[in-house]
């Protein structure tokens, strides 16, 4: 039959090049093909007796005209010389069409003729450029749709019907179909529908083909909508637009009257039934039209299309007709379905499914183009959607599924025009069915849930629901309701997990993942500016400036949502106490400070959740303000073009009509006034409206109150309402219609309360259509996260709960994975929008599933964990979240740590979790300094005292598996156990637990602080069992690790870390791993942080005082290691320790080690580092270091050699003092330098005082070394400026005191002190040398005499001292020699000489008074020229010339002698 072109309409033209002879270039070929078709028809005709006989009859009888025309065509086709497209197709089609239309032909002949026409149409001979194509195409359609034939058997009839369908479809698919008129396209569709209708009684194959053809036709026609210009084909003239858009379509015109004539006008020969597929269906189509008019009427006038327009090339007019026809099919079902005689199955499911399928095809292909054509759009908005709402509640899952598919398509293409319709669909269909509260079957619930999930998978669906509905004060919270529905539906309550639960979970996760995907697209403002209402501004009807620009609409809808929330709270207050409720709203600026009727009326009208009884009481009140509110309230309704009963239903749905008659009257007066103002129609005045309204209320009570036994009849009702219309009667039809409406459908005077999901009644639908004209434009969301923060805040709690419950109940890995994806998406959104509480909740929830927090009831938890896929997935997810989104975890760190500690207890952590965290920048210890430190931060830390350490690490743990008792031989693990263990290892590897701590330097401050607090909390919560101590040690390791990792933010952590360590140090009385970790951790922190944090140096060093507070037993146990650490700290950071306080701590620690056998070596090493060559001596630490060195000098722990080295350090420090003095002179002004030199003098005094103490040491070599060092410090002070006063102090406090103390020791017969004689000799020499060196300066002082007498008295005592009970000759000789030398020098310098007798010479007299006690002969030796008899009063000046017999060079020699030997 030739090839069937599948291209439809205009597209075929675009896709095929216009080469007319492309397929059959040879004209003869086409002629041959047509010739063969003629032959085929003639051959079949000859087989028929009637045609065959007539053909063979006598010569005088002509052949039948049908055969003649076919033969004539046969002659002509080979004679045509022109191109085929220049030949009128009617010329070669007409003979076939005559056969098709003839009453006389039988089904076989008609069938062959139809096949021929089908073949010619599919040859691509005819296209829109062919001559007279328009006429030819219309001829084909007219002929085929009025096809007649004699029916001999059902099979052949079905074949013909099938071929008619093929030909009509070929017409529509032909390139020339664009030339068909609107009327012809309608005729084609109508004909096909008749065959569909007729085929219900025929074979299955015909039914299927008929329906398929109908679908193909609709697809062909509506795919053409994209190419139709809005103005060109839509309407005749502009003035007609308004009228045409108003209502339904002219029912006289639908699908033409020709078919009806053709269908009923056949006569049959031989009683054979002549097939006319129209005969049975006219009634149906008629019914369809009438019913549709009745339903769609609502008082509107229907406006027909202009008949001229229907003859133009097809476009919108025929599509409107067809689409309306499809909608009326649904209406028909609504009415005909109630007929008990009807085939219930057909009307319950079959016809609506068929109609819905066609509508779906039309919408799929027409798509967004519907928006350009107001009449098509209004059909979708009103008639189609109204039917969808009704069929949405059908008991048939098939119908519901198709309805949902259509709504999804409409959402995609036309959602901007269907805002309130979509709201109604979700509220009244999806939410109603999916909840299962309203008697929906499981299948209905499942289909509704599947549909909802499909919607959720559209990326912007939930955002648009939220922005357009939840943020609109007058709409329901659809997003919130849907999100809650999904959460609740995912919850398995006391039952196993079903497909429905998983389905709801899929929807929930689709929404969440949509939000997660939007995060990367920008516009995520972490801190949403809070909405603040500072004063009341009328907000009910406010519109946004620009609904297309997010800069405008985002803040607008957020503000609206805030207001809506506050209104809900206000409604709650109002329901408890109306007066307080209104006051609350005034306080929150949602009502004006001085109430006005309009704002209160709007509050009653548009706020959801109000108690309708209270609203009714308020509106019915006689108070003047309440009456004003009532009239304003009535003014918010739009009753334009609405029936009175519909208007009254709508009005009374918003509150409960009060019971008292006066209140009822007031309410109905306000209603009647408003109704008459908007829809006067046939009412004379508002009183007529009032009386009729009253009458309707009474009728309603009469008809629907069970207590009324005698019901009012229609006649009674009409009689009761006589003369009420301004003295005249209302039309009887009008009253009858009202009567029937009230009887059939009660006016509910006690409307539904609360937030249930109402049923869509006709009156509510009419109200919805009115509202949709005024509602705010639909906001189309893009892929950016403008409102996700607010949306997620609403749904996060229920979502986490739902996913958790499903995860808990799930048993299949694919469900686990779905849940895990959901958890990760929730975490991502929480982190992005800074919802820390949500993230914490998620972590808490997930940690429960790791099974790590459960008290271990299983014998072998490691194997149980390896066998539990859910626990392993949860564990990996917890740590994935911790690593990715740790910045926003707060209290959740505690739960994460509990998991880590459990893994630690099971020995499942990698061996160096903590040390990897701290050591990535650690330099290895210098091996040259003592033993390696034993406190490296690793899991293999020092063993707790008395606690046998479990083997750490993974394999060590595994080696213990399955050993039930130590005495039993260990059984080999089975393959399953090995596999389980392997899975456990892989899981722990995937967790990257160490990263949490190594990467902690990237954590936000607040999160880092919470992590540190969690570690401290975890360490402290245990009791004192060994296992708890192990945990505490591990926590401390981690705490120290993150402290070291965050040296730049140490200020943040320091206080908590310090207090925790202090707590450990001060509460521990026995050595243990924890206190060891605490002490060494503290030292480590100081070591690492001192170079970086100079402002914190004092704080860090002060913390080391904790070490000094250690219990003696603890301190003793770790002293050596502590000292090594302190030594390392000093060597690394000496330059960073500036303050006296810091040095005090360091030197205190070093001083303590002086008396500790193991530790003193390292301690002295550190001191040596500080003091050698004055490298790190500072005025701030000088005294402290001297004191520490003194303690090492006095300590008997090391050898005497070390004491000597300590003394050398002390004496060597004098050079430092000299250097500082020199630098001060160079760098400072005179005043500052003076002050500095005074300070340096004080330091020097502290130095010599320290040495003085060591001079009393029991050990001879130390004592003597100290004396020599002291002498060096007293005499080698040329570079230091020491004041006279300071020198006097030095003699008193240091030299004289030391001499006295040594004398006391020597006379004390103490056995511990050996060879005191040598020490006394050294001390005496020291005295002599220092005195002589300072003689010149000190002799000028007024107190010189006192000083000199001090020297003499010490010499006198040393002369007489008994060492071990006998006098020392050496000492006596030395004292005499030194004294003589001093006297000679004093004489030479002119200090000691006899002066004028006036007033006497006390120095002279006192000198000799003492000297004579020591050695009477000395005076004559020093002053040989003066006899001893010289009187005190005589002058000595006469001998001055001769007596100065000691030249200057001799003096020098004597001085040297005094100090030497």
What residues are annotated to the active site? Answer: 660
Nearest residue to 177 via CA among 232, 140, 214: 140
Distance of alpha carbon 1219 from alpha carbon 1330, whole angstroms:
22
Q: How many Å apart are CA 483 and CA 268, to the nearest integer?
A: 66
Which residues are paired to 106 by β-bridges?
Answer: 150
3-state secondary structure (DSSP) of residue 1367: strand
Within 13 Å, how many C-alpha atoms sit on residue 993's CB side? Answer: 26
Q: At what angle do helices 397-414 and 351-366 cross, to 10 degrees?
A: 20
Burial readout 461-486 (b: 16 or more C-beta within 10 A, e: otherwise): bbbbbbbbbbbbbbbbbbbbbbbbbb
- Residue 103 CA to residue 93 CA, distance in Å, equals 18
Nearest residue to 34 via CA among 102, 129, 123: 123
1363 sits in which H/E element: strand 1362-1363
What is the rounded end-to-end Cα distance, in angstroms, of the chain? Answer: 145
Dihedral sign of CA atoms 993, 996, 999, 1000 in order: negative
The packing angle between helices 442-456 and 397-414, to 10°, is: 20
Determine the length of the chain. 1461
- CB distance 1411 to 1352 below 8 Å: yes
Work out the number of other CB atoms within 10 angstroms of the CB of residue 1298: 23
The beta strands (E) that lie in 1018-1112 are given as none
CA 1440 – CA 47 distance, rounded (Å):
185
1362, containing H or E segment: strand 1362-1363
Phi-psi category of 777—alpha, beta or left, where left has phi over 0 and alpha has psi -120 to 50? Answer: beta
d(CA 545, CA 532): 20
What's the token pair of residue 1108?
Answer: 């000094």
Compute the chain's Rg from CA coordinates. 57
Among candidate residues 233, 258, 255, the one with its CA nearest the CA of residue 244: 233
Instruction: Quote the DSSP letter at residue 610.
Output: -
In our burial notation (b when 16+ CB lie closer than 10 A, e otherwise), range 1196-1235 reads: ebbeeebbbbbbbbbbbbbebbbebbeebeeeeeeeebee
Nearest-CA neighbor of 1006 among 769, 840, 859, 1144? 840
CA distance 677 to 1247: 111
Beta carbons of 1289 and 1334 less than 8 angstroms apart: no
Which value, to the nearest 10 degrees, does the dihedral of the CA atoms of residues 289, 295, 297, 302 take? -20
With both helix axes pointing from N to C terminus, report the angle between 975-991 and 869-885 in degrees, rounded to the nearest 10.
10
The CA distance from 793 to 833, in Å, is 9
CB-based contacts of 31, cutoff 8 Å, min separation 6: 77, 78, 80
CB 457 within 8 A of CB 511: no
């Amino acid at each position: 039959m030739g090839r069937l072109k599948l291209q439809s309409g205009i597209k075929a033209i675009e896709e095929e090049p216009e080469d007319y002879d492309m397929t059959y270039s040879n004209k003869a070929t086409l002629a041959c093909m047509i010739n063969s078709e003629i032959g085929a028809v003639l051959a079949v005709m000859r087989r028929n007796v009637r045609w065959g006989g007539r053909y063979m009859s006598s010569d005088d009888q002509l052949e039948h005209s049908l055969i003649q025309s076919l033969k004539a065509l046969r002659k002509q086709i080979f004679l045509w010389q022109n191109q085929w497209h220049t030949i009128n197709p009617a010329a070669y089609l007409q003979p076939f069409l005559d056969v098709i239309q003839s009453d006389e032909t039988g089904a076989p002949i008609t069938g062959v003729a139809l096949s021929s026409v089908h073949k010619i149409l599919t040859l691509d001979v005819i296209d829109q450029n062919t001559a007279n194509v328009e006429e030819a195409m219309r001829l084909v359609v007219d002929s085929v749709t009025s096809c007649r034939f004699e029916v001999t058997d059902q099979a052949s009839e079905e074949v013909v019907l099938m071929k008619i369908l093929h030909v009509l479809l070929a017409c529509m698919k032909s390139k020339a179909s664009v030339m068909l008129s609107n009327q012809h396209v309608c005729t084609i569709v109508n004909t096909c529908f008749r065959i569909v209708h007729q085929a219900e009684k025929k074979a299955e194959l015909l039914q299927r083909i008929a329906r398929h053809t109908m679908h193909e036709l609709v697809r062909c026609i509506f795919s053409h909508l994209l190419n139709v210009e809005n103005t060109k084909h839509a309407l005749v003239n502009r003035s007609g637009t308004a009228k045409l858009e108003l209502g339904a379509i002219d029912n006289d015109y639908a699908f033409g009257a020709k078919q009806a004539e053709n269908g009923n006008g056949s006569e049959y020969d031989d009683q054979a039934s002549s097939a006319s597929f129209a005969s049975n269906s006219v009634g149906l189509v008629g019914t369809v039209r009438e019913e549709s008019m009745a339903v769609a009427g609502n008082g509107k006038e229907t406006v027909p299309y202009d008949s001229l327009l229907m003859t133009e090339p097809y476009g919108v007019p025929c599509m409107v007709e067809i689409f309306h026809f499809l909608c009326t099919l649904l209406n028909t079902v609504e009415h005909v379905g109630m007929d008990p005689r009807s085939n219930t199955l057909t009307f319950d499911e079959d016809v609506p499914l068929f109609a819905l399928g066609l509508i779906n095809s039309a919408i799929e292909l027409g798509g967004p183009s519907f928006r350009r054509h107001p009449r098509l759009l209004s059909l979708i908005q009103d008639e189609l959607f109204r039917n969808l709402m009704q069929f949405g509640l059908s008991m048939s899952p098939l119908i519901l599924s198709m309805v949902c598919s259509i709504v999804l398509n409409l959402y995609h293409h036309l959602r901007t025009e269907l805002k309130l319709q979509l709201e109604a669909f979700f509220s009244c269909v999806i939410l109603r069915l999916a909840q299962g509260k309203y008697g929906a079957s499981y299948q209905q619930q499942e289909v509704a849930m599947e549909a909802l999930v499909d919607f959720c998978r559209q990326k912007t669906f939930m955002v648009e629901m939220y922005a357009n509905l939840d943020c609109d004060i007058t709409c329901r919270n659809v997003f919130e309701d849907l999100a809650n529905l999904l959460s609740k539906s995912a919850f398995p309550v006391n039952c196993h997990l079903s497909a429905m639960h998983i389905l709801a979970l899929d929807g929930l996760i689709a929404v969440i993942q949509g939000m997660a995907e939007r995060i990367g697209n920008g516009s995520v403002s972490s801190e949403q500016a809070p909405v603040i209402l500072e004063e009341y501004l009328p907000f009910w009807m406010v519109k946004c400036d620009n609904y297309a620009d997010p800069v405008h609409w985002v803040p607008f809808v957020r503000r609206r949502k805030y207001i809506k929330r506050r209104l809900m709270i206000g409604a709650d207050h109002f329901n408890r106490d109306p007066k307080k409720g209104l006051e609350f709203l005034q306080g929150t600026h949602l009502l004006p400070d001085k109430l006005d009727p309009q704002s209160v009326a709007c509050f009653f009208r548009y706020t959801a959740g109000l108690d309708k009884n209270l609203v009714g009481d308020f509106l019915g009140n006689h108070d003047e303000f309440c009456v004003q509110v009532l009239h304003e309230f009535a003014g918010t309704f739009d009753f334009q073009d609405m029936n009175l009963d519909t208007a009254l239903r709508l009005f009374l749905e918003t509150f409960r009509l009060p019971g008292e008659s006066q209140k009822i009257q007031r309410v109905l007066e306000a209603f009647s006034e408003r109704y008459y103002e908007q829809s006067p129609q046939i009412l004379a005045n508002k009183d007529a409206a009032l009386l009729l309204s009253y009458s309707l209320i009474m009728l309603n009570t009469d008809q629907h109150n069970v207590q009324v036994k005698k019901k009012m009849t229609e006649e009674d009702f009409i009689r009761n309402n006589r003369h009420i219309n301004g003295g005249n009667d209302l039309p009887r039809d009008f009253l009858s219609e009202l009567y029937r409406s009230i009887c059939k459908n009660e006016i509910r005077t006690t409307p539904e309360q609360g937030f249930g999901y109402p049923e869509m009644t006709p009156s509510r639908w009419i109200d919805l259509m009115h509202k949709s004209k005024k509602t705010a434009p639909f906001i189309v969301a893009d892929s950016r996260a403008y409102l996700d923060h607010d949306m997620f805040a609403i749904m996060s709690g229920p979502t986490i709960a739902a996913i958790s419950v499903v995860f808990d109940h799930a048993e299949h890995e694919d469900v686990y994975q779905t849940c895990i994806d959901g958890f990760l998406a929730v975490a991502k959104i929480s982190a992005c929008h800074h919802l820390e509480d949500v993230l914490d909740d998620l972590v808490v929830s997930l940690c429960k599933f790791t099974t790590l927090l459960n008290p271990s009831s299983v014998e072998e938890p490691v194997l149980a964990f390896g066998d539990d896929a859910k626990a392993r997935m949860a564990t990996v997810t917890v740590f994935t979240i911790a690593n990715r989104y740790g910045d926003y975890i707060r209290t959740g760190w505690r739960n994460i740590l509990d998991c880590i500690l459990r893994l630690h207890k099971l020995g499942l952590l990698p061996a160096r979790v903590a040390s990897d965290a701290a050591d990535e920048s650690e330099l290895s210890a210098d091996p040259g300094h003592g033993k390696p430190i034993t406190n490296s931060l690793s899991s293999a830390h020092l063993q707790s005292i008395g606690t046998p350490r479990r083997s750490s690490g993974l394999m060590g743990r595994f080696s213990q598996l399955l050993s039930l008792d130590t005495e039993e031989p260990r059984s080999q693990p089975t393959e399953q156990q090995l596999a389980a263990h392997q899975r456990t290892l892989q899981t722990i590897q995937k967790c990257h637990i160490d990263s949490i701590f190594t990467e902690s330097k990237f954590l936000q401050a607040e999160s880092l602080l919470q992590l540190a607090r969690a570690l401290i909390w975890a360490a402290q919560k245990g009791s004192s069992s060994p296992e708890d101590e192990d945990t505490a040690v591990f926590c401390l390791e981690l705490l120290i690790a993150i402290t070291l990792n965050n040296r730049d933010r140490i200020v943040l952590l320091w206080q908590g870390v310090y207090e925790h360590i202090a707590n450990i140090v001060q509460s521990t009385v026995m050595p243990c791993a924890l206190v060891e970790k605490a002490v060494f951790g503290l030292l480590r922190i100081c070591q690492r942080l001192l170079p970086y944090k100079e402002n914190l140096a004092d704080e860090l060093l002060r913390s080391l005082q904790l070490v000094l507070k250690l219990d003696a037993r603890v301190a003793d146990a770790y002293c050596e290691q502590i000292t090594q650490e302190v030594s390392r700290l000093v060597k690394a950071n000496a330059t960073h320790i500036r303050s006296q306080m810091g040095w005090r701590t360091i030197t205190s620690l070093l001083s303590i080690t002086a008396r500790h056998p193991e530790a003193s070596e390292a301690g002295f090493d550190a001191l040596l580092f500080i003091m050698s060559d004055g490298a790190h001596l500072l005025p701030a630490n000088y005294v402290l270091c001297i004191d520490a060195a003194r303690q090492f000098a006095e300590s008997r722990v090391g050898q005497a050699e070390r004491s000597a080295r300590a003394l050398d350090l002390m004496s060597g420090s004098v050079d430092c003092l000299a250097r500082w003095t020199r630098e001060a002179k160079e760098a400072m002004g005179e005043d500052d330098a003076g002050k500095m030199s005074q300070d340096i003098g004080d330091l020097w005094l502290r130095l010599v005082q320290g040495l003085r103490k060591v001079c009393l040491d029991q050990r001879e070599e130390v004592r003597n070394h100290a004396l020599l060092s002291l002498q060096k410090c007293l005499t080698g002070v040329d570079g230091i400026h020491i004041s006279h006063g300071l020198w006097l102090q030095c003699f008193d406090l240091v030299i004289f005191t030391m001499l006295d103390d040594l004398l006391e020791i020597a006379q004390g017969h103490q056995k511990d002190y050996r060879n005191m004689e040598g020490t006394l000799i050294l001390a005496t020499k020291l005295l002599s040398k220092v005195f002589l060196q300072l003689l010149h300066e000190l002799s000028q002082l007024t107190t010189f005499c006192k000083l000199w007498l001090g020297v003499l008295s010490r010499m006198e005592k040393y002369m007489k001292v008994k060492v071990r009970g006998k006098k020392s000759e050496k000492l006596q000789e030395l004292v005499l020699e030194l004294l003589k030398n001093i006297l000679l020098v004093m004489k030479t310098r002119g200090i000691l000489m006899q002066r004028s007798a006036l007033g006497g010479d006390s120095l002279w007299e006192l000198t000799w008074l003492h000297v004579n006690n020591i050695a009477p002969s000395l005076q004559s030796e020093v002053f040989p020229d003066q006899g001893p008899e010289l009187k005190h009063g005589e002058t000595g000046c006469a001998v001055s010339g001769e007596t100065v017999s000691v030249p200057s060079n001799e003096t020098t020699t004597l001085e040297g002698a005094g100090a030497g030997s």
